Amino acid sequence: MSPLEIIASAIGILAVWLTVRQNCWCWPLGLIMVVMYAWIFYDGKLYSNMLLQVVYAVLQGYGWWLWTRGDNSHSGIQVSRLSRQGLWLGLGLGVAGSAALGYLMASFTDAAAPWQDAALSAFSLVAQVWMAQKRVECWPLWIVLNVLFVALFIQQGLYPTAALYGVFTLLAIQGWLTWQRDHARVAA
């Protein structure tokens, strides 16, 4: 349990709390957190998660842009739902990414949990893109992923990070309820 991991966890809680509240400052805080976690996961030999943090860094900019200037009036996007096709496309990309990244990590690295790490990383990218697009469906996916991440991080001895993802699970439940309510209000 390093001070870096504790600080990154605290920043992460604040960033996700801001996301639930649809506050665009979640994105710059998220960037700070993912840079810190890239190092933590590298040190813990969770290479898929390390690479995930690098992609998250790019997605922080994408989310910031969408949430602040992403619609036709350049005032930001509203909470919405995925189409059935968008849902299946995202989940299909998660499966394909899991298989490809898992194979690479199992074959070419000394990754601590190559398949589990790869699957969680690939589906996290799907959830993160959906979150940046303010899709309600990001939250149930995050709930499942966060529970599975807790198990992975306990297995790897990253206890503050496991606790963080436990808190992320609770925040994801709150996010799902809040965003569903906001979507119903916008759709009415």
Question: Pick the residue with more confidence: 186 or 117?
Answer: 117
Expressed in percent and rounded to 5, the helix, strand and coil fractions of the chain are: 80, 0, 20
Confidence band for 141, pLDDT divided at 50, 70 and 90: very high
| Mean pLDDT along residues 140-150 | 97
Is residue 177 pLDDT above 80, yes or no?
yes
Average pLDDT, the chain: 92
> What is the reported pLDDT for 88?
98
Is residue 160 pLDDT above 70, yes or no?
yes
User: How many of the other CB atoms lie within 10 Å of CB of 151?
Assistant: 14
Is residue 92 pLDDT above 90, yes or no?
yes
pLDDT digits (tens, 9 = 90+) for 32-50: 999 999 999 899 888 888 8
| Mean pLDDT along residues 147-166 | 91
| Mean pLDDT along residues 89-103 | 97
Is residue 21 pLDDT above 70, yes or no?
yes
Q: Shortest CA distance to 46 belongs to which of 113, 133, 138, 98?
A: 113
| Mean pLDDT along residues 8-15 | 92
> What is the reported pLDDT for 73?
64
- List beta partners, residue 80: 135
At 4, list the tokens. 């870096």
> What is the reported pLDDT for 1?
67
Give the distance, in angstroms, between the CA of residue 134 and the centroid of all CA atoms in the same chain.
Answer: 13
Count Cβ atoms within 10 A of the Cβ of residue 92 and give its class: 0-12 exposed, 13-18 middle, 19 or more buried. exposed
> What is the reported pLDDT for 179?
95
| Mean pLDDT along residues 171-179 | 96
Phi, psi of 24 (to 5 degrees): -65, -15
